[in-house]
Amino acid sequence: MSLKSERRGIHVDQSELLCKKGCGYYGNPAWQGFCSKCWREEYHKARQKQIQEDWELAERLQREEEEAFASSQSSQGAQSLTFSKFEEKKTNEKTRKVTTVKKFFSASSRVGSKKAEIQEPKAPSPSINRQTSIETDRVSKEFIEFLKTFHKTGQEIYKQTKLFLETMHYKRDLSIEEQSECTQDFYQNVAERMQTRGKVPPERVEKIMDQIEKYIMTRLYKYVFCPETTDDEKKDLAIQKRIRALHWVTPQMLCVPVNEEIPEVSDMVVKAITDIIEMDSKRVPRDKLACITKCSKHIFNAIKITKNEPASADDFLPTLIYIVLKGNPPRLQSNIQYITRFCNPSRLMTGEDGYYFTNLCCAVAFIEKLDAQSLNLSQEDFDRYMSGQTSPRKQESENWSPDACLGVKQMYKNLDLLSQLNERQERIMNEAKKLEKDLIDWTDGIAKEVQDIVEKYPLEIRPPNQSLASIDSENVENDKLPPPLQPQVYAG
């Protein structure tokens, strides 16, 4: 089996990571291969089409109802009077529906525009005025201190941000996709205002947007991360169960060019797993992306040390899949969806953060669709491994190819040693149970023999005889001692 054939199921062309619309930005499987900008355009088109179809259906139903109502009237005068009332009712109902639809889709309106500032309520929401946590309070203070350096522009940004948070409080009943769209519109609106009106340089705009994202997402995190209205939790459990079922996948099957026998490489692998797990503890999308980036850089370093040359994309993706399988990060799908929905879109479409995040999405998609052909296994072996009936056996030393990874060889040696230790442990446990049974039987036998002897030769216990009086006792009656000797004086 050649190295090229082994990589056939994992190889991803770099062009496949880009937006399929050809805009040059990174795409995302969660956006059906589009980048953030193109996905929103497609989403707007689909939503407007759905709204138009709903209106056409409503108008058709109203026409049918009107015709049925008009035909049921026997009197022309009564019909005219009733029809006029029906027309009035229809107009009022249509106006009400238009207002409702506008309110429902007001998430896509420009939050920073004057129209939004007039229409949105400015009363502070209870959620914003509640007792904030230590972290939220710290982030708020940092955000205010950061904006003080921008003077008037900073005041305007703070005002827009507070207004956005108050608006999001009243839009909490909307779907998570609509809340995401509202947040993305806010990012775009604030960035455009700073560039056009404030004449802020692009590099400073990015820093400001990072602080804005940190401030608003720290406050909104508990409401928009893995909400109950979505199936994010269900997807988390499914991917965790899938990764547990794939515990038997070896680095050789994935063609991972990492030798964990090298201490420095082993440390890099541990750090990469730690970073990908740490992603769940962060609140801000940018901080979660930073964990993915650190994990990816540790992977590149591990590959570079092993191969003694820079890593390629064909080396990176299989190793990232291996790290995800080995680490099984908690709430993986929820974190990916959270980043996709609420991260600053410029980070996901360009730069190293966007590249590594796109690769992580591809790795998760590969794990979900992994089959026998992807690992170059027969379907029979794949099914046996997945069911837990057996695991990949240790390969004989003569079957190893000269360029086989040393880490894989050592892994199989360790697996064989563990198998031997397991057999020895089972023998020891069986002997220990046998010894325990022998001790119990011996104790019961001794107790039975003692009982038989006691029953055969019963002991008769007699009361003790009355003891003699003590010499020093004052009992005169029983004192049979001779009288004391009297001293005699001899004359000399």
Within a domain: 120: no
On the question of pLDDT at 112 being above 60, the answer is no
Q: pLDDT band for position 415 (50/70/90)? A: confident
On the question of pLDDT at 100 being above 50, the answer is no
Ramachandran area for residue 260 (φ above 0: left; ψ -120 to 50: alpha; else beta): alpha
Q: pLDDT band for position 114 (50/70/90)? A: very low
Both 293 and 343 in a single domain?
yes
CATH code for the domain in which residue 247 is found: 1.20.1050.80
Torsion angles phi and psi, residue 26, rounded to 5: -75, 135
Both 55 and 150 in a single domain?
no
Tokens of residue 374, six digits: 């992807």
Is residue 377 within 8 Å of residue 1, measured between CB atoms? no
Both 211 and 236 in a single domain?
no
On the question of pLDDT at 339 being above 70, the answer is yes
Both 213 and 169 in a single domain?
yes
Both 310 and 285 in a single domain?
yes
Q: pLDDT band for position 135 (50/70/90)? A: confident
Is residue 342 within 8 Å of residue 385, measured between CB atoms? no
Both 345 and 421 in a single domain?
no
Torsion angles phi and psi, residue 18, rounded to 5: -85, 165
Longest dimension (CA), the chain: 179
Cα 178 from Cα 175, distance rounded (Å) = 5
Assign 18 to helix, strand or coil.
Answer: strand
User: Which 8-state DSSP code applies to residue 306?
Assistant: H
Both 367 and 251 in a single domain?
yes
pLDDT digits (tens, 9 = 90+) for 279-301: 999 999 999 999 999 999 999 99
Is residue 215 within 8 Å of residue 137, measured between CB atoms? no
Q: How many structural domains does the chain have?
A: 4
Both 177 and 246 in a single domain?
no
Q: pLDDT band for position 132 (50/70/90)? A: very low
Q: At what angle do helices 202-224 and 176-196 cross, to 10 degrees?
A: 160
Q: What is the per-residue pLDDT for 95?
A: 57
Q: Of 387, 403, 427, which closes a domain?
A: 387
Within a domain: 249: yes
Cα-based torsion angle of the residue sequence 192, 350, 356, 43 in order, rounded to the nearest 10 degrees: 60
Cα 419 from Cα 335, distance rounded (Å) = 37
Within a domain: 33: yes
Within a domain: 5: no
Within a domain: 100: no
CB proximity list for 190: less than 8 A, separation 6 or greater: 112, 157, 160, 161, 209, 212
Both 291 and 324 in a single domain?
yes
Within a domain: 342: yes
Tokens of residue 185, six digits: 């519109």
Within a domain: 395: no
Cα 146 from Cα 140, distance rounded (Å) = 10
pLDDT digits (tens, 9 = 90+) for 424-457: 898 899 999 999 999 999 999 999 999 988 888 8
Within a domain: 72: no
Is residue 35 within 8 Å of residue 349, measured between CB atoms? yes
Tokens of residue 34, six digits: 């589009």
Q: Of 324, 352, 387, which closes a domain?
A: 387
Cα-based torsion angle of the residue sequence 7, 12, 14, 16 in order, rounded to the nearest 10 degrees: 160
Both 182 and 242 in a single domain?
no
**Which residue has tokens 């995190």?**
221
Both 290 and 202 in a single domain?
no
Both 200 and 271 in a single domain?
no
Cα 491 from Cα 486, distance rounded (Å) = 16
Domain that holds residue 315: 231-387
Cα-based torsion angle of the residue sequence 274, 276, 280, 282 in order, rounded to the nearest 10 degrees: 80
Tokens of residue 209, six digits: 């947007």
The CA-based angle 295-299-300, given to 5 degrees, is 120
pLDDT digits (tens, 9 = 90+) for 60-85: 777 777 777 677 655 555 444 444 55
Q: What is the per-residue pLDDT for 110?
A: 40
Paired with 18 in beta bridges are: 26
Cα 226 from Cα 52, distance rounded (Å) = 31
On the question of pLDDT at 398 being above 80, the answer is no
Q: Which residue has the higher pLDDT, 402 or 382?
A: 382
Cα 382 from Cα 378, distance rounded (Å) = 6
Single-letter amino acid code for the residue at 454: V
How long, in residues, is the chain? 492
pLDDT digits (tens, 9 = 90+) for 202-223: 888 999 999 999 999 999 999 9
